[in-house]
Amino acid sequence: MASLRDIKNRINSTQKTSQITKAMQMVSAAKLNRAELSAKSFVPYMEKMQDVVVSISQGTGGVRHPMLVSRPVKRTGYFVITSDRGLAGAFNSNVLRLVTQTIRERHQSDDEYAIIVIGRTGYEFFRRLKMNVVLQIVGLSDHPTFQDIENITKKTVAMYEDGTFDELYLYYNHFVSAISQDVTEKRLLPLTDVTTTNRLISYEFEPSAEEILSVLLPQYAESLIYGALLDSKASEHAARMTAMRNATDNATELIDSLTLTYNRARQASITQEITEIVGGAAALE
């Protein structure tokens, strides 16, 4: 049985841990508010750009562009968004599990796929498994700007355009609420399912529709990646806030249990000391 000193030391260490997890929960809650606002405020921009793309591509006699047309798939790209830090519950593991399972089911060799990853956790995971990572970025801030990922998004879209891969899938955690995040798989390229619920608008443009789409479509694909990153960041802060709250609650329960054990052991020790004193006094009579 552990000594009173051991139990007391464990209570003290658990209390210090709970203070840390409580502070991390409060920090994540503050970051979540800002990240959720950023993610929601970016949605109207993406929707408007989508409306413009659909209006130009379908409203001018059905203009075709390579990014709007499926082609035979020889190689697949996987764009995976994870976090740089852990302590966020199953936030990273759920995404990484889905990606690795999908790759193993679809492909027989590394030549059939390419991985682009955001986040140190994902990069180190794929590197440890010796999977084919062609682009990565780590060390993003908790509230990234488009300039922070502009280089990797442009390179990713360019790799599709030059035929490095023939389709691109996006994997990330979609923010539903502070306690719910859904792992999402989305086919990003080609843009064959671009639709709008709004009425098509007739635009007057110069130069031709083909030239406008050649500029607009890469920007639209890049904005989809950035929107998914903002969504993922909100999910990350929510997952970490929930994980730290659960850790704090568990620490509190453990402290209560250890305190009860400590009090019982202390009472038993006192009782034993009293018994020994009474027994010694009786022996002297």
Q: Which tokens belong to 102?
A: 């999908």
Structure tokens at 242: 């929930």
Q: What is the DSSP string of 196-229?
A: -SSPP-----SS-HHHHHHHHHHHHHHHHHHHHH
pLDDT surpassing 70 at residue 70: yes
Using the predicted structure, report yes or no on whether residue 55 has a pLDDT greater than 90.
Answer: no
pLDDT in tens, 141-166: 999 999 999 999 999 998 988 888 99
Q: How many CB atoms lie within 10 A of CB 77?
A: 22
Residue 66 confidence (pLDDT) = 75
pLDDT at 95: 96
Closest C-alpha to 92, from 26, 152, 181:
181
Location of structure tokens 């193993």: 104
Average pLDDT, the chain: 87
Q: Is the pLDDT of residue 205 over 70?
A: no
The pLDDT score that the predictor gives to residue 272 is: 76
Q: What is the pLDDT of residue 92?
A: 94
Sequence-distant (≥ 6) Cβ neighbours of residue 102 within 8 angstroms: 78, 169, 185
Could you report the per-residue pLDDT of 225-281, keeping only the tens digit for each?
999 999 999 999 999 999 999 999 999 999 999 999 888 888 887 887 777 777 776
With residues binned 3-state (H G I as helix, E B as strand, rest as coil), the percentages for the chain, rounded to 5, are: 60, 15, 25
Q: Which fold has domain 25-242?
A: Pyruvate Kinase; Chain: A, domain 1 (3.40.1380)
Q: With contact defined as beta carbons under 8 Å apart, do 92 and 82 qualify?
A: yes
Per-residue confidence (pLDDT) for residue 204, from 0 to 100: 66
Q: Work out the pLDDT band at 198, boundaries 50, 70, 90.
A: low
**pTM recorded for the entire structure:** 0.86
Does residue 171 contact residue 25 with C-beta atoms inside 8 Å? no
pLDDT at 58 over 90: no
The Cβ of residue 87 has, within 10 Å, a number of other Cβ atoms equal to 14
Q: How confident is the model at residue 114 (pLDDT cuts 50, 70, 90)?
A: very high
Q: What is the mean pLDDT of residues 117-139?
A: 94
What is the band of 184 on the pLDDT scale with cuts at 50, 70, 90?
very high
* Residues above pLDDT 70, as percent of the chain: 90
b or e along 26-39 (b: 16 or more beta carbons within 10 Å of the residue's beta carbon)? eebbebbeebbebb
Q: Following DSSP, what letter does each residue of 145-157 receive, concatenated?
A: -HHHHHHHHHHHH
- Asked whether the predicted pLDDT for residue 195 surpasses 80, the reply is no
